[in-house]
Amino acid sequence: MAKYTENDRIFDENGREIVLKTEHLSISFGGLKAVNDVNLEIKKGQLYGLIGPNGAGKTTVFNLLTGIYKPTEGKIFLCGEDITGLDPIKINKAGIARTFQNIRLFSNLTVLENVMVGLSNQIKCSVAESILRLPRHSKSEKDFRKSAHELLKLFTLDEYADQLASNLPYGKQRKLEIARAMATNPTLLLLDEPAAGMNPNETQELMNDISYIRKHFDMTILLIEHDMRLVSGICEQLTVLNFGTELAKGDTSEVLNDPEVVKAYLGE
Amino acid sequence: MDFLETLLNGLSLGGTYAIIALGYTMVYGIAKMLNFAHGDIIMVGSYIIWFTFLRLDCHPSISIALAIICCVILGIVIERLAYRPLRGAPSLAVLITAIGVSSLLQGLPAILDTISKSSNNSALKEKLSGILNPLPIQDMVHTNKLVLFGVEFPISISALVTILITVATMIALTVFIKKSKTGKAMVAVSENRDAALLMGIHINKIIVVTFAIGSALAGVAATLMLTKGTPASPSFGALPGIVAFSAAVIGGIGSIPGAALGGFLIGILETFCNANSALSPYRNAIVFSVLIIILLFKPSGILGNPRREKV
Amino acid sequence: MRKTNDLGLNKSFKFKNYLNYTVILAVLAVLMILQFTGAAGTDFNYKIMPIVIPIGVYVILALSLNMVVGFLGELSLGHAGFMCIGAFVGGKIASLLDTGDNANISVMLIALILGGLCAALFGFIVGLPALRLRGDYLAIVTLAFNMIITDVIKEIPFFAKGSNLPTPSLKDEYNYIIIFAIILITLAVIQNFARSKHGRAIMSIRDNEIAARTMGINIVKYKLTVFTISAFFAGIAGVLWSYYQPGINYEMFKYNVSIEILVMVVLGGMGSVNGSILAAALITFINNYGKFSEESFAPYRTVLYALILIIVVIYRNAPGLKGFREKYNMKDLFAKIFKKKTSQEKLEDIADKETKKSEKSDKKEQKLSNKVSKKAAKSAKNAKKEDR
């Protein structure tokens, strides 16, 4: 592919920016290569799927991308910036936000506060300013509340604003996790099995939500999913992982019809 | 010879710590909780030995056996009433409850003490103050040096016995866990409680057995500590308990050889500090500093295996 | 552990949020009226200080420990160690600077600040292991810290080897007002901190550290800040304690004192600022008032508090009591008294609304689809007609 770069940012031949690029991404635990030579290339605004059987290393790829694990080999670039080996806080500031397979909300905080925590780095106010209640504190709190309410409205969660996150129904908790991730103002959103445990109606609602986020924020999304209806419904391109290595990648319809992929999923 | 003597005394003190540490490590490894009250079970055991041995004139072996039985019952009762209701609750809650149990146990002898002081019944008063103001048990302490074939060894008989008991207990426990059905079930519960449950293992039963073993070790530890000449008191087990927990952590919590290793290391360190007049006032400070340093650089201890939190 | 959420983070100015200041000021006002009208007798100061100072000290200790245990969710068993540092450093400085019989206020201020800062420095140092260790391990490290501090203090000649370091005392008529001022400042700092983005960040670390990290929350900064501020106020409490006692002794700061403070925080409800104040004030009052303060009652108190602690923790956390808790709890009880909706009812309301909405939209869709099908039928008919 013919590519050109500008101020470290990488573009493909059509002038579309490449938001995430990994080169030979690998990690081993002890002797086990959990992820081996994974090369992703996700373009601006794309909805990219990462699929594969259980234990294929999908979530490990997410943990590598968000800095929870450090890769033993390979590089990760976000908008051309090398973020390999940075810690999760810096990676979040660089622009990657994520959700978790097993929901990780701040369960003793309210729905609104969960989103406000996500907004923490967007609105500045020092510890001293807060303790002394200087003017910037009340202004920042107003901003926090306003932005959080706006986000919740977009996700139709505003009615639950004052409820504890742990009291939300399951589907709403997943939604809140996405809202909280969006609050950190990411350039790339990682969704780890967003439809896990959802019924068909909830999955349909989730698909609508994801398409909406994509359009409304012009967001680039990488998602892990087992629900093939969802994957074939909204993903443009896929990478299939099996035993930590890339089995196939390309446009969704092609990949899903690849006999190798079918074999990996269904056995022979 | 001076160095060797200190080393052997260190091994003996370390043996006591190792026995206590084994109690902590068993419970921590299987019930996944820090039994803060372990030291206070030792305290109860020491009162029972003291009372039965000096006041009731029991044979030492009977009073030791009684102490161990009482400790086991106490351990099981505590587990049933205070810890089992919190199975599955956040670990912070369990730890706070354990701290509560610890101060509850420490308060009980003190209550007996106030009753004895304020009571008008002189017979009761005498009995209670007899229990509560123990003297060191000289008869149980063999400070004589070991003499074999006419050669005097630089170690007292009680110190040697302590080391032997520690080693024997460690081997017995290891064999029990490796070979017996219950022992294997314990390992299973420690590795993965849910999977063990699905395999038909009664989690509660296994945890009760663990507490029983841990508390029996507390009874043994009470005996060993009394032979060193410390009199029983409400805070008898508190400091040794914390030091021994540090030993368990240093050795690697959940690991039986780790507890023994940590116990001996701490015992030797403390004895050498004691032997040096400049260091002796700081011996606890030094022991705890070592704990903090080891925890910072190897949080899983010397022989423990690190665990990752699954994301 | 169930954390109460009484911080009112989402509300704009509400009297409720400032109720605690008002109550404390009201207590102060009552005391001042008693003093000025002479209703409490001539030896007012002599009677009131032995109760006001310990209550003040323990309220400050409980408030500051609550920052670590309630907000950050880490168990610290070394709070008395920070108090110890504050007491010895502040007490020594005060005894060096103070020459007169009665304590000098400016000297006291210097002692308070320096004692607090020294303790804060150690708080920062203890916070460092907290970056790597969690839960039981951190609890043991803080406990070890407490023991190290008392062990080392008792070997330092500058601090009279930790036994009976003479310290100045507060004998002035109106000195209890200073204690109240310090309580109010402590409350303001800790409450303002908690009700801010920083407070939320800390509670997010407590609830889920990994998620907080991926949200870009600076764990290092916040953990160290919490430990430092918490230790600072424990140090301040220590300085006050040194003013209360004629001389201070390292044995006053052993780890069982740390556990006493922890009991107050837990009984008050972890994470609840007002709960900490109430529990600390109540327990300290019982410990220092009348018959209960006698030495012979001390073991009964210990056992009683230990029992209450165990029962409260089991009630609040036991998985088996979940149904019981949901049926009988203070929040719902208050809600019923004030005829407000309980959180469960609020959730049900929202769910009702949503089902109604979806029913409506279903009906609309049905109507639409009916119309569409009618139209289709019509057009089909028309088409047929045209065909003919």
> What is the domain extent for residue B52?
2-135+156-297
What is the C-alpha to C-alpha distance for residues B221 and B41, in angstroms, rounded to an integer?
10
Q: Which residues on chain C are in Cβ contact (under 8 Å) with A88?
A: 210, 213-214, 216
Mean pLDDT of C368-384: 66
CATH code for the domain of C91: 1.10.3470
pLDDT of residue C1: 44
pLDDT of residue C289: 78
Mean pLDDT of B98-105: 94
Q: Looking at the structure, do residues C286 and C373 belong to the same domain, yes or no?
A: no
Q: Looking at the structure, do residues C286 and C383 belong to the same domain, yes or no?
A: no
Q: Which of C293, C313, C336 is the last residue of a domain?
A: C293
Burial (Cβ within 10 Å: 0-12, 13-18, ≥19) of residue C310: buried
Q: Is the pLDDT of residue C350 over 70?
A: yes
Domain count of the fold of chain B:
1
Q: Is the pLDDT of residue C304 over 80?
A: yes
Q: Is C125 on the interface with B (CB under 8 A)?
A: no
pLDDT of residue C376: 64
B287-308: burial string, b at 16+ Cβ within 10 Å, e else:
bbebbbebbeeebbbbbbeeee
Q: Which residues on chain B are in Cβ contact (under 8 Å) with A68?
A: 311
Distance from CA of A156 to the nearest CA of C (A): 11
Mean pLDDT of A180-191: 94
Q: Is the pLDDT of residue C12 over 60?
A: no
Which comes out higher in pLDDT, residue B304 or B184? B184
Q: Which residues on chain A are in Cβ contact (under 8 Å) with B93?
A: none
Is the residue at C223 inside a domain?
Answer: yes
Of A87, A88, A117, the CB nearest to C204: A117
Looking at chain A, which runs of residues are DSSP E strands?
4-6, 9-11, 18-29, 32-38, 41-43, 47-51, 73-78, 81-82, 96-98, 188-192, 220-224, 237-242, 245-251
Q: Considering only alpha carbons, which residue of chain C is nearest residue A107?
A: C207
Q: Looking at the structure, do residues C150 and C227 belong to the same domain, yes or no?
A: yes
A-B Cβ pairs (cutoff 8 Å, strict): 4
B105-147 residue pLDDT tens: 998 888 887 777 766 666 666 666 655 555 555 555 555 666 6
Q: Looking at the structure, do residues C91 and C234 belong to the same domain, yes or no?
A: yes
- Contact between residue A194 and residue A223 where contact means Cβ atoms under 8 Å apart: yes
pLDDT of residue C10: 44
Is the residue at B22 inside a domain?
Answer: yes
- Contact between residue A209 and residue A117 where contact means Cβ atoms under 8 Å apart: no
pLDDT of residue C2: 42
**pTM of the prediction?**
0.88
Is the residue at B273 inside a domain?
Answer: yes
pLDDT of residue A226: 85
* DSSP H or E segment with residue B148: strand B145-148
Is the residue at C6 inside a domain?
Answer: no
Instruction: Identify from C140, C205, C258 which residue to disrupt to test chain B contact, counting B C-beta atoms within 10 A and taking the largest count.
Output: C140
pLDDT of residue C3: 44
Q: Is the pLDDT of residue A246 over 70?
A: yes
Of B85, B118, B311, the CB nearest to C210: B311
pLDDT of residue A2: 43
Burial (Cβ within 10 Å: 0-12, 13-18, ≥19) of residue C353: exposed
pLDDT of residue C157: 86
Q: Is the pLDDT of residue B45 over 90?
A: yes
Q: Looking at the structure, do residues C115 and C193 belong to the same domain, yes or no?
A: yes
Q: Please spell the DSSP secondary structure of B264-291, one letter per residue.
A: HHHHHHHHHHHHSTTTGGGHHHHHHHHH
pLDDT of residue A177: 95
Q: Which residues on chain B are in Cβ contact (under 8 Å) with A63?
A: 311
What is the C-alpha to C-alpha distance for residues B33 and B84, in angstroms, rounded to an integer?
11
Is the residue at C340 inside a domain?
Answer: no
Q: Looking at the structure, do residues C129 and C218 belong to the same domain, yes or no?
A: yes
Is the residue at B33 inside a domain?
Answer: yes
Q: Is the pLDDT of residue C165 over 80?
A: yes
Q: Looking at the structure, do residues C286 and C353 belong to the same domain, yes or no?
A: no
Tokens of C58: 């323990």
Is the residue at C254 inside a domain?
Answer: yes
Q: Looking at the structure, do residues C258 and C150 belong to the same domain, yes or no?
A: yes
Mean pLDDT of A117-128: 92
What phi-psi label fits residue B57: left (phi over 0), alpha (psi between -120 and 50 degrees) or beta? left
Q: Considering only alpha carbons, which residue of chain A is nearest residue C192?
A: A131
Q: Which residues on chain A are in Cβ contact (under 8 Å) with B311?
A: 59, 63, 68, 100
pLDDT of residue C11: 46
What is the C-alpha to C-alpha distance for residues A249 and A255, in angstroms, rounded to an integer?
6
pLDDT category at A14 given cuts 50, 70, 90 is confident
Is the residue at B150 inside a domain?
Answer: no
Q: Considering only alpha carbons, which residue of chain B is nearest residue A61?
A: B311
Q: Which residues on chain B are in Cβ contact (under 8 Å) with C319?
A: 86-89
C88-132 residue pLDDT tens: 999 999 888 876 655 578 888 999 999 999 999 999 999 988 888
C205-248 residue pLDDT tens: 999 999 999 999 999 999 999 999 999 999 999 999 998 888 89
Q: What is the dihedral of CA B239, B241, B246, B249, to 10 degrees?
A: -170
B134-151: burial string, b at 16+ Cβ within 10 Å, e else:
beebeebeeeeebeeeee
Percent of chain A with pLDDT over 90: 56
Distance from CA of B114 to the nearest CA of A (A): 44
Q: What is the dihedral of CA C20, C24, C26, C32, to 10 degrees?
A: -170
Q: Is A132 on the interface with C (CB under 8 A)?
A: yes
C57-94 residue pLDDT tens: 999 999 999 999 999 999 999 999 999 999 999 999 98
Which residues, other chains included, contact C297 with Cβ-Cβ below 8 Å and sequence gap of 6+?
C291
Determine, for residues C10 and A113 on separate chains, whether the beta-carbon distance falls below 8 Å.
Answer: yes
CATH code for the domain of B50: 1.10.3470
The amino acid at residue A115 is V
Distance from CA of B177 to the nearest CA of C (A): 25
> What is the domain extent for residue C357?
347-388
Q: What is the largest CA-CA distance in chain A?
A: 68
Q: Is the pLDDT of residue B151 over 80?
A: no
Of A123, A167, A181, the CB nearest to C343: A167
Is the residue at C277 inside a domain?
Answer: yes
Which comes out higher in pLDDT, residue C203 or C156? C203
What is the C-alpha to C-alpha distance for residues C305 and B14, in angstroms, rounded to an integer?
34
Determine, for residues C207 and A108 on separate chains, whether the beta-carbon distance falls below 8 Å.
Answer: yes
Q: Considering only alpha carbons, which residue of chain A is nearest residue C214?
A: A88
Q: Looking at the structure, do residues C241 and C149 belong to the same domain, yes or no?
A: yes
Is the residue at B188 inside a domain?
Answer: yes
Domain count of the fold of chain C:
2
Q: Which of A17-21, B14-18, B165-169, C98-102 has the lowest mean pLDDT?
A: C98-102
Q: Looking at the structure, do residues C210 and C138 belong to the same domain, yes or no?
A: yes
Instruction: Identify from C128, C159, C314 which residue to disrupt to test chain B contact, counting B C-beta atoms within 10 A and taking the largest count.
Output: C314
What is the ipTM, given to two decimal places?
A: 0.89
Q: Is the pLDDT of residue C384 over 70?
A: no
B-C Cβ pairs (cutoff 8 Å, strict): 138
Q: Looking at the structure, do residues C240 and C172 belong to the same domain, yes or no?
A: yes
Is the residue at C332 inside a domain?
Answer: no
Averaged pLDDT of chain C: 84
pLDDT of residue C161: 82
Q: Is A136 on the interface with C (CB under 8 A)?
A: no
Q: Is C14 on the interface with B (CB under 8 A)?
A: no
What is the C-alpha to C-alpha distance for residues A10 and C113, in angstroms, rounded to an integer?
55
Is the residue at C329 inside a domain?
Answer: no
pLDDT of residue C8: 45
pLDDT of residue B63: 86
Q: Looking at the structure, do residues C23 and C122 belong to the same domain, yes or no?
A: yes
pLDDT of residue C361: 67
pLDDT of residue A61: 94
Q: Is C358 on the interface with A (CB under 8 A)?
A: no
Which residues, other chains included, contact C338 with Cβ-Cβ below 8 Å and sequence gap of 6+?
none
Which residue ranges form the domains of chain A, and what is each CATH number? 1-95+186-268 (3.40.50.300), 97-185 (3.40.50.300)
pLDDT of residue C4: 43
- Contact between residue A219 and residue A189 where contact means Cβ atoms under 8 Å apart: yes
Q: Which residues on chain C are in Cβ contact (under 8 Å) with B82?
A: 310, 314
Is the residue at C244 inside a domain?
Answer: yes
